[in-house]
Amino acid sequence: MLLKTSLRSFFAHKGRMALSLIAVVLSVAFVSGTLVFSNTATSTFDRLFASTASDIAVRPAKPDPDEEDRPRAQVATVPAATIAKVASGAGVKQALGQVFVENAVLVDPTTNKQIGPTGGAPTLAGNWTETPRNSVEITSGHVPQGADQIVLDADTAKKAKLGLGSKVRIITVANGTHDFTLAGIATFKTTNPGAALAFLDTATAQQDLLGKAEYTSVEVFGDGSRSNEQLKADALGSLGAGYDVKTAAEQKEENNKSVGSFLDFMKYAMLGFAGISLLVGGFLIINTFSMLVAQRTREIGLLRAIGGSRKQVNRSVLVEALILGVLGSTLGLGAGLGLAAGLIQLMNAVGMHLDAADLQIGLNVPVAAYTVGIVITVLAAWIPARRASRIAPMAALRDHGTPAEARSNTVRTVVGLVLTAGGGGLLVLAAGADKAATGGQFLGLGVLLSLIGFVVLGPLLATTVVRVLGAGLPSLFGPSGRLAQRNAMRNPRRTGATAAALMIGLALVIGATVFTSSAVESTNQQVDKSVGADYVIASSQGVLGPEMVEAARRTPGLKHVTEQKDLGRLKIAVPDGRTVRTRVAAVSATFTDDFQLPVKSGTADALAKGSLAIGEDMARDFGLKVGDSVTLDYGQGRSQSLPVGVVMAKGDSLFNGATFVGIDTLAKAVPAGEIPADGQLYAKAAAGADVSRTLGLLEASLKDYPQITVQDKAGYKDLVQQQINTLLYMIYGLLGLAIVVAVLGVINTLALSVVERTREIGLLRAIGLSRRQLRRMIRLESVVIALFGAILGTGLGLAWGITGQQVLKDQGLATLAVPTGTIVVTLVASVVIGLVAALVPAFRAGRMNVLAAIATD
């Protein structure tokens, strides 16, 4: 009986459920699509790594984890004799020496443009070997034969528009520039993970890529008589220390980690934004069922009058929500497959080749889809269902319509004020916190509590704010304006819930914009204040070879070129015996001419005289002051005792957490062959030289190295802004789904309110309100609701963004920038959203038959 009643009620009101269904479908599609894409990508790479990994791989011993990310010109290698030692072991069928480096750059000499990816996936150059598990096969031409031949993977050759016989150049940091002729094209047997591959013959790869007759690894394949673990143990036994040996399973796990970090970032970021859209969709569903319950007051009263219990009425509404959840989840799951295919095409466009025909729909996909869709729908419908169960049998005798809210709002007011005050207090504590980590924790809790507080207070704020927003409507639009204002105030709970959906999305947009605008402005001011260099020279590889540095030095019109070398995270011993790991950079003596250090104590020129420059936080945490002696451990038994010459004040992102030592000072403790290559160069124009003209000359000097970028101050600022804007636009795009769902909520509220007020609309038309005035009334009501949500969202977003800036003010985000243009655009956009959302409801209301509307029960 209960199920039959619920089914009949659901299908009788299916039109009114449509927009709630769309909200569930969109949110579930985002979740399921993200999971399907993640499963497909993970499965594809699993197959690639499993099908290409050797039984064991012998590599040089790994460096200290703190030195692993140090840019290196020289690649670690294993001696050629390693092959014979490993090949003689029991159960070994084949042992091959392999050369592969990631620090080479591929260039098309005819265009002088870089070939292959410039970020993300690597460019791998190495030797061609025939193994039982090659990842590629020659599909055009032949394998490299001789010192002037090269093979490229098919995807790289196609993108660069290269064919057999084309010229290809390889630039290495340590071993110079080499030109080749394209002799063959190789195609991936499984999938291309997005990398560019270049193959040379073994002798050429050793000479041109390594500069010596050694290998980067030895790949070993067994004959099946011994397990991979036994092969590994045998190899370690014969080779001794200084090697890192991994089985096929360990290689696969290592490769999956490197790819998985990117895929996990994508997955969790998208699921996070899907969660926001689910939250927004929850308000839409609450409104839908609240209005349906209100419209069915007489119907529910009749059910109670003929013996229906409160529990049965409650279950009846929840069963309708369950049907909506199941249907929305099913459709969303299907839409998610389409979204996953779209994401795969997007990845293909950027070079990560996945097969959309091989979507992996694991058990986690339907489980997540139905759990999310059903749980959010049923939870959202619980409050309206609870209200429905309290409708008394005598309600069957009332006229159809929304019952007046007799219940006191005291509890809502108290709870809302407590939550909002608590959230505001936490935001204040966050802004005043001494440490960014502590401030970040307060900020997260403050955002959560203030958001919930505004949602709870929304219906109470609606009456006051809507009255103010609509104050001018009667004088501007006459009866239509007055009715629109009163309609928006008629049911504050409904208006508050509708506006809350829009508020959440806009608050996040405004908060992110304030934060990113402050980051850009802070960086610009710090560059103007601290950077004296006219040019910044950097490479996409992270290292600059000696010939590149010399080419820059030879540029006419330069006063000097300053070098900066990344030494990695070095261990520093302080006088009281404690040690700390911190990133250290070695710089030329002219560094303090190119940068104005934020000196808190000491003098900047002490750096060039053999002293150390440390940050304020390090000095405070370890009780260091100018003149104290500390010991730097450079690794490999090299160490040096140096005095602290300058303590740098915090608050400048260019120097936060930095520690500097002079290159001349470093050279006294570390042999020239062990000193890392330059990571970045800074140059200053000579007195009287034209800065713009010298920029052109510097670019011309480095034109043979397309991986190098040369920027003046304005270009550097533009680069920072582009990087931040990329992040901001990604956030905008992902929040777009929440905004769409919020707009659906406004449409849904208006559409259902038109149905609810059918008789009222008929009476208005009967006493002389024209269709045009009626449509205008609904449009104005929609605009007022949208503006209400936009104002609340703007207030919250400003509070969050400003607090975020204050939390990081000592980390370089020193300048607050409030994007007034974005705020104005947001408020104007909310008006447009209100007008667009009202189009269909206003059109339907205007087409109502007057007599039929009056006769509606």
266-270, 473-477, 808-812: lowest mean pLDDT where? 266-270
Average pLDDT over residues 88-110: 91
Average pLDDT of the chain, as a whole number:
85
pLDDT in tens, 532-545: 899 999 998 888 98
Environment class of 88 (CB within 10 Å of its CB; exposed 0-12, middle 13-18, buried 19+): exposed
Average pLDDT rounded to a whole number, residues 729-757: 76
Question: What number is the average pLDDT over the span 124-129?
Answer: 93
Q: How far is CA 415 from CA 323, 457, 494, 512, 662, in A?
A: 33, 8, 18, 28, 60
Element spanning 344, H or E = helix 310-349
pLDDT at residue 392 is higher than 60 = yes
Output the pTM of the full model. Answer: 0.76
- CB–CB of 298/402 below 8 Å? no
Q: State the Cα–Cα distance between residues 176 and 104, nearest whole angstrom.
A: 10
Quick: pLDDT tens for 246-262. 998 888 888 877 776 76
For residue 400, what pLDDT band results from cuts at 50, 70 and 90? very low
Among 39-48, 187-196, 605-614, 817-826, the range with the most confident prediction by mean pLDDT is 605-614
Least confident of 68-72, 108-112, 264-268: 68-72
Q: Place 839 in a pLDDT band, splitting at 50, 70 and 90.
A: confident
What does DSSP say about strands 680-685 and 535-539: parallel, antiparallel, or unpaired? antiparallel
pLDDT tens per residue, range 801-838 = 999 999 988 887 888 999 898 889 888 988 888 888 88
Asked if 651 contacts 810 with a C-beta cutoff of 8 angstroms, the reply is yes
First to last CA, the chain: 25
pLDDT interval class at 9 (50, 70, 90): low
* Alpha carbon distance 329, 273 (integer Å): 18
pLDDT average, residue stretch 547-576: 93
Distance, CA of 652 to chain centre: 24
Instruction: Give the β-pairing of 629-635 and 612-615.
Output: unpaired
pLDDT score recorded for residue 3? 60
pLDDT in tens, 300-314: 777 777 777 778 777
pLDDT tier at 401, thresholds 50, 70, 90: very low
Chain-centroid distance, C-alpha 79: 42
Structure token pair of residue 28: 């579930």
The strand pair at 579-587 and 659-662 is best described as parallel
Going by pLDDT thresholds of 50, 70 and 90, the confidence category of residue 843 is: confident
**Residue 246 and residue 468: Cα distance in Å, rounded?**
70
pLDDT of residue 752: 73
The mean pLDDT of 561-578, rounded to a whole number, is: 92
The pairing of strands 196-200 and 123-127 is: parallel
CA torsion angle 302 304 308 309 (round to 10): 160
pLDDT in the model for residue 70: 53
Residue 280, both tokens: 């927004």
User: What DSSP designation does 669 have?
Assistant: T
Question: Given a cut of 70, is residue 403 above it in pLDDT?
Answer: no
CA neighbor of 409 nearest in space, from 358, 443, 475, 460:
460
Instruction: Determine the Cα–Cα distance for residues 815 and 522; give it in Å rounded to an integer.
Output: 5
pLDDT over 70 at 405, yes or no? no
Segment of 69-78, 307-316, 490-499 carrying the highest mean pLDDT: 490-499
The Cα–Cα gap between 401 and 188 comes to: 67
Which of the 8 DSSP states describes residue 394?
G
- Digit-coded pLDDT (tens) for 612-640: 999 998 999 999 999 999 999 988 888 99
- E strands in 109-175: 113-115, 123-127, 136-141, 149-153, 167-172
Query: What are the b/e assignments for 246-271, b being 16+ CB within 10 Å?
Result: bbbebbbeebbeebbeebeeebeebb
Average pLDDT over residues 126-143: 91
Mean pLDDT computed over 791-796:
93
User: How many CB atoms sit inside 10 A of residue 792's CB?
Assistant: 25
406 confidence band (pLDDT: 50, 70, 90): very low
Q: Residue 560: helix, strand or coil by DSSP?
A: strand
**Cβ-based burial of 396 (10 A; exposed 0-12, middle 13-18, buried ≥19):** middle
Q: How many CB atoms lie within 10 A of CB 575?
A: 12
pLDDT at residue 757 tops 80: no
- What pLDDT was estimated at residue 552? 95
Residue 407 pLDDT exceeds 60: no
Instruction: For residue 86, give the nearest of 250, 246, 247, 237 by alpha carbon.
Output: 237
Q: What is the pLDDT of residue 135?
A: 85
Q: Who contacts 50 (Cβ-Cβ below 8 Å, separation ≥6)?
A: 248, 252
Chain segment 44-62, per-residue pLDDT in tens: 777 777 778 899 999 998 7
Kindly tell me if the per-residue pLDDT of 14 is higher than 70: no
pLDDT value, residue 685: 94
Nearest to 167 by CA among 113, 105, 109: 109
Query: Strands 56-60 and 243-247, how do they pair?
Result: antiparallel
Residue 773's CB is within 10 A of a number of other CB atoms, namely 18
Pairing status of strand 92-98 against strand 136-141: unpaired
**CA angle at residue 581 from 576 to 585, to 5 degrees?**
115
Q: Are 214 and 79 in contact, with CB atoms under 8 Å apart?
A: yes
Longest dimension (CA), the chain: 102
* Residue 402, pLDDT score: 44
Sign of CA dihedral 478, 479, 484, 490: positive
Closest by alpha carbon to 666, among 512, 563, 765? 563
Whether pLDDT at 404 is above 70: no
Distance (Å, whole) CA 791 – CA 788: 5
CA dihedral 200, 206, 210, 211 (to 10 degrees): -120
Give pLDDT, residue 21. Answer: 83
Element (H, E) at 390: none
Long-range CB pairs of 342-348, under 8 A, 24+ apart, other chains included: 342/33, 343/33, 343/34, 343/37, 344/37, 344/40, 344/41, 347/41, 347/194
Query: Residue 586 forms beta bridges with which residues?
Result: 565, 661
* Radius of gyration (C-alpha) of the chain in whole angstroms: 34
Question: Residue 638, by phi and psi: left (phi above 0), alpha (psi -120 to 50) or beta?
Answer: beta
pLDDT digits (tens, 9 = 90+) for 510-524: 998 998 899 888 888
Contacts of 821 (CB under 8 A, 6+ apart): none
3-state secondary structure of 538: strand
* Both structure tokens of 1: 């009986």
pLDDT of residue 5: 64
Q: Would the pLDDT of 446 be above 70?
A: yes
Residue type, 633: D
Residue 835 CA to residue 562 CA, distance in Å, equals 58
Q: Distance between alpha carbon 733 and the CA centroid of its chain, in Å?
A: 11
pLDDT at residue 75 tops 80: yes
Which range (139-143, 152-156, 527-531, 700-704) has the least confidence?
A: 527-531
CA separation for the pair 396, 857 (Å, rounded):
12
Q: Average pLDDT, stretch 467-475?
A: 88
pLDDT, greater one: 199 or 23 = 199
What is residue 217's predicted lDDT score, i.e. its pLDDT? 93
